[in-house]
Structure 1
């Protein structure tokens, strides 16, 4: 209609498009329009690795090295005790080393879980090492227990796709009701993030967007106008806003203009009017006035407030998900114990068969 000169100018959500400038003129900028999204809110981090989170990887490595050194010291001290006190020599030397290593490993694990050993020590060397190992292990278990209690009671959340970079890294689909949301993105852009986000965009009807907004599986496009208000949120129902979070930055932004016919005689006068409109502050007044008349202030506050995560959750009841890691470790220990028991039965039965065969041969 503007090209046919049936209208003097066209105004709306139109950006600085090169394709339109080839046939039309454009005015000074009217405002800043940015494209952002409501993304799924981050969920609580609950997984099988929860028992490993109180310590960092380097600290776990230090704990393993400490336990290995304890086992080595206990094995040497036990072998010293057997050799120097009981005077065992000869063919039983390698058997004594095996028993010493077995004693060291079992005692280290018992001390690590605050359990006592039934072995009666004779030498003061072994007693001193056992006391030092117990002191170190009780400090480690106390620190671990405090860290695990903090992780179970204080909420920790997964990373949300609430920025342009994270939206691209999470490969999260974002959707709108029209292809025009990505028209401004230049297909020849050198920014790989923008090009990747362009390929992740999907067009759906408003009814599908309303149903998808409750599934927490995609992001939903919004327009952030110049003075902070959010537009195009009508397809998202109120009950879905609790599950969504506003992005902390914009996917892209551009300046909106009005398009007029070529050689329009009033272009300079209209540009002067736009500059006077900006200078007087009417642009801000009109945006706030339109938002107050046609937008829900409650929805605006909810969407803007979702940008910062509310950690004031109050007391949280612990469920089975909080202990799934401990349960898996317990199941792993039970399976290992069962396998060790079956191996012992097999060894004992094999020794009995050998003894029976030797008795029959005699």
Structure 2
């Protein structure tokens, strides 16, 4: 039931129960599982008006109070018995509230009236004396209750302002926890609701839900992160004292200064980003935030759906994307130089053209001889001769010219073929000259599809690098997730120079890259940056779901982002803590041209020609040997037949 109410976005909650601790614990568990997020306000009432809620120390000291600052308790007291004590307490309360108002902590413009309809303390608005009535109500909230209080409602609106507490009246204290400072669980009386036959209203008309986050007065906030340049930098200076830097760390420190809180760093360097499991438990940055072990976590976090179910995110600090360093394409073998001037489609077109020309040659020669008469040249007498004549023209060899006047159609066809093959051979010769002087490489991996098609494994130290792809139905994304592997830094350092593995890098809005330890100047000589991004997202800070700090953090982050300070910090951290030589090397790795320019022709460049010559010689030798063997066998066979013929 509590879960369904939470999903409806009800706010505030008015609860009437004897055991406050169990209800608070239920609300805390529900808020971790509910999808709806908002800052919740709670008003707890006793079961009966005669009950006096005992000391709230056990309630306000609960762990759940770390993210429930807007919790107030209505406590009924009897002014007959303790009028002097209460009067002294409320005089101090008025003095403190005036101090808070002067510091901007309390907003006196918001007033709440509590009215119990159907109870012996019921008092209609028309019965309140006119001299004690203020302006009309600003808000009216009704909350139906079950059981005994099925017809009882709460009115929250303006009410009278009393300057003192009369004798023999009913007093309702509005109590909350301090939340701020070094004693956050201390009890604070915000105001008092006074009811008698003549006066009804709040004593000081204080805002019952003041903004406690505006000034946390040194309250301790637990934060988790790890060394991940340029987001977070944890290092030591010359005096061996710890130095915290990084543009995310600076943003958090700025929030600490603005909101006046202290912080304690929690480290989980073994699990890094960690994980959150289906039961809400976890480890690392996102896991400890989800388990409420820390209040804030950051380390270049993205808006991951898998962790969004258990954590909350602030507004974006910046944006970044993931690309890959892939192996550089290798030089193509020199024996392939004869085939590289034309693409595969072009070679197919040339082959089909030669076959068609052969057929036309043979058909035209037969038709010309039949219709026009004359002798047919041997070059066009058979299919084989026509094919060899066509191949000769392809390499610019002159064909035999028919001398008979009746072969004019063949002459015209030969002239057109010579022009055609001259153009094809010229294009081929130009491409071949370019390939022999400028080295050619394998096709580089520039897109995500090409990376998936290559089936190259891409590796990193944590599976968080594929969280953004897990819920994708795209076949390419599924292939990338399948090819991802988690390795140690030592294993990745060993693989970085072997040219068989891809390494993801994070590219920032400032056009810089995060360079891990296994990518050094030696490794970058064998790697090349992809042109296309695999995926991208905004960078955020993780907080507990419905965290009271989120809105204040959002305001500070938005101010830093709008003024450009965030981008300035990002560039500054990159320049200060990362190698500029590596940054330049990564950006220039996309260039594949030979730095030495055209190369001098050597024997290696003619490997293709020698390969063809070798194949031709080998084929000729085989054919010649076969013909000689066939001739010898045939001659012996004829002699054997003659021998038996003479014997007969």
Q: TM-score, normalised by structure 2?
A: 0.47
Q: How far apart are residue 264 of structure 1 and its match? A: 4.0
Is 1:273 matched up with 2:556? yes
CA distance in 2 between counterparts of 1:260 and 1:120 reads 89
Is 1:185 matched up with 2:458? no
Deviation by residue 1:311-360 (Cα, 9 ceiling, x = unmatched): 65502245666444433332332232123212332343345346545765
Q: How far apart are residue 170 of structure 1 and its match? A: 0.9
1:266–1:145 Cα change, 3 Å: closer
Larger deviation, residues 276-285 vs 245-254: 245-254
Is 1:244 matched up with 2:517? no
CA distance in 1 between counterparts of 2:407 and 2:633 reads 36
CA distance in 2 between counterparts of 1:66 and 1:131 reads 10
Is 1:326 matched up with 2:609? yes
Q: Which has the higher contact order (CA 8 A, sep 6+)?
A: 1
Residue 314 (structure 1) aligned to one of 597, 605, 608? 597
Greater radius of gyration (CA): 2
Q: How far apart are residue 137 of structure 1 and its match? A: 8.0
CA distance in 2 between counterparts of 1:52 and 1:135 reads 22
Is 1:62 matched up with 2:346? no
More strand by share: 2
1:345–1:163 Cα change, 3 Å: same
Kept in 2: contact 1:70–1:133 (CA 8 A): no
Residue 169 (structure 1) aligned to one of 453, 456, 463? 453
Q: How far apart are residue 164 of structure 1 and its match? A: 1.3
Q: TM-score, normalised by structure 1?
A: 0.79
* Number of residues of Structure 1 aligned to a counterpart in Structure 2: 350
CA distance in 1 between counterparts of 2:550 and 2:307 reads 16
Residue 39 (structure 1) aligned to one of 326, 330, 347? 326
Residue 345 (structure 1) aligned to one of 617, 628, 640? 628
CA distance in 2 between counterparts of 1:99 and 1:31 reads 75
CA distance in 1 between counterparts of 2:517 and 2:388 reads 65
1:31–1:108 Cα change, 3 Å: closer
1:247–1:144 Cα change, 3 Å: closer
- In structure 1, list runs of 5 or more residues that go unmatched: 87-95
Q: How far apart are residue 141 of structure 1 and its match? A: 4.1
Q: How far apart are residue 100 of structure 1 and its match? A: 3.7
More helix by share: 1
1:183–1:157 Cα change, 3 Å: same
Q: How far apart are residue 39 of structure 1 and its match? A: 0.7
1:332–1:31 Cα change, 3 Å: same
**1:94-243 alignment, distance < 5 Å:** 100-101=381-382, 108-110=390-392, 112-113=394-395, 123-124=404-405, 129=411, 132=415, 135-136=418-419, 139=422, 140-186=424-470, 188-243=471-526
1:79–1:146 Cα change, 3 Å: farther
CA distance in 2 between counterparts of 1:131 and 1:22 reads 77
Is 1:286 matched up with 2:569? yes
Kept in 2: contact 1:40–1:243 (CA 8 A): yes
Kept in 1: contact 2:438–2:598 (CA 8 A): no
Kept in 1: contact 2:324–2:504 (CA 8 A): yes
CA distance in 1 between counterparts of 2:401 and 2:441 reads 49
Deviation by residue 1:273-321 (Cα, 9 ceiling, x = unmatched): 1111011110111011111111111211111222344465502245666
Q: Secondary structure at the match of 1:345?
A: helix
Kept in 2: contact 1:79–1:100 (CA 8 A): no
Larger deviation, residues 281-290 vs 46-55: 46-55
Kept in 1: contact 2:317–2:540 (CA 8 A): yes
1:231–1:85 Cα change, 3 Å: closer
